[in-house]
Amino acid sequence: MTNVQFAGVYLVGAGPGDPDLLTIKAERVLRQCRGLVYDSLVPQEFLDLVPNDCEIQFVGKRRGHHSFPQSKINTILYQMSMRHVCVVRLKGGDPFVFGRGAEEAAYLAAKGVAVEVVPGVTAGIAVPAYAGIPVTHRLAGSSVTFVTGHEGIDKRRPSVNWQALAKASDGLVIYMGLHNLQFITEQLLIGGLDSTTPAAVIQQGTVIGQRCITSTLSQLSNEIQLLGIQSPSILIIGDVVKYQIEECCPQPANVTMPIDF
């Protein structure tokens, strides 16, 4: 067991929503921290774990408001680390999976602040599992790619090569892909994926309000619109979706999660 009398910033993964998916180590550091900086997709229950005198700062996105710029979050973290011995930066899922955790760690380390990562359960694995969908399968998925669906929207940034991914990976688990799904689908079809490839979307996985729709690659986008599926959602494309076992789904936790963040 680690002694958490640590002078620095813990970059902690909060898991995908179900509070029971917090790791024991994450709980231990939360119970001892003097400063907490947290994001939108973090279960509110975790704020109750920190000591009463802990300084708490929210830096996520509220409905209808812009996100905090990354530079501002970095500054908040640095300043908090100057005021308190043990600071927790709590992020949804895992801090190093599409969470800008590495940028924050590098910024703090460059300023001489000690940083330690506490990995979390990432949505890309836990959310399909709560819907009974395995992300790999001996008969259908020997490879899986975790990919962000957000990049193609902003053409100024390098975007994912969806056409190449169509053939390179048996399964795709797409974070933040909802708003760009039509583009992603077109690219995957051009890249050689069959229009009947099984596909699924899971909204608000692991918590109350969880919804899972299974379909085909070419139909998924329409069904999402028709059924009003919203963020946060995970998309899964590939034959693994055929191996969904509904009997093994855990009960989603009776907690809510912000939508449309």
Q: What are phi and psi of 245, to 5 degrees?
A: -120, 95
Q: For residue 43, which of 146, 120, 117 has the smallest C-alpha distance?
A: 120
The residue number with the shortest CB distance to ligand SAM is 93
Residue 76 near residue 69 (C-beta atoms within 8 A) = no
Q: Which of 216, 231, 239, 242 binds ligand SAM (CB under 6 A)?
A: 231
Q: How far is the CB of 205 from ligand SAM (least distance, A)?
A: 4
**Residue 134 within binding range of ligand SAM, rule CB under 6 A:** no
**Residue 94 within binding range of ligand SAM, rule CB under 6 A:** yes
Told to judge if 72 belongs to the known catalytic residues of this protein, a careful annotator would answer: no
- Per-residue CA distances from 77 to 15, 55, 56, 57, 65 (Å): 20, 12, 11, 9, 21
Told to judge if 48 belongs to the known catalytic residues of this protein, a careful annotator would answer: no
DSSP-H helix ranges across 65-142: 70-83, 101-110, 123-130
The span of 137-145, 191-199, 204-212, 220-228 binding ligand SAM (CB under 6 A) equals 204-212
Told to judge if 82 belongs to the known catalytic residues of this protein, a careful annotator would answer: no
Give 44's DSSP letter.
G
Q: How far is the CB of 112 from ligand SAM (least distance, A)?
A: 26
Residue 147 near residue 235 (C-beta atoms within 8 A) = no
Rounded Cα distance, 238 and 243, in Å:
10
Residue 200 near residue 174 (C-beta atoms within 8 A) = no
**Residue 19 within binding range of ligand SAM, rule CB under 6 A:** no
**Residue 234 within binding range of ligand SAM, rule CB under 6 A:** yes
Residue 84 or 169: the one with the smaller Cβ distance to ligand SAM is: 169
Residue 166 or 173: the one with the smaller Cβ distance to ligand SAM is: 173
Work out whether strand 198-203 and strand 233-237 pair parallel, antiparallel, or are unpaired.
antiparallel
**Residue 128 within binding range of ligand SAM, rule CB under 6 A:** no
115-148 b/e (C-beta count within 10 Å ≥ 16 → b): bebbbbbbbbbbbbbbbebbbebeebbeebbbbe
Residues 152-181 that bind ligand SAM (CB under 6 A): 175-176
Q: Which of 93, 128, 141, 238 binds ligand SAM (CB under 6 A)?
A: 93
**Residue 17 within binding range of ligand SAM, rule CB under 6 A:** yes
Q: Which of 10, 38, 78, 98 binds ligand SAM (CB under 6 A)?
A: 98
> Which residue among the candidates 25, 91, 176, 257 is catalytic per the annotation?
176
- Which residues lie below 8 Å from residue 81, measured CB to CB, with a gap of 6+? 8, 9, 35, 87, 108, 113
Q: How far is the CB of 138 from ligand SAM (least distance, A)?
A: 25
Residues within the interface to ligand SAM (CB under 6 A): 16-17, 41, 91-94, 97-99, 122-123, 127, 175-176, 202, 204-206, 231-234, 257
Q: Which residues are catalytic?
A: 39, 61, 176
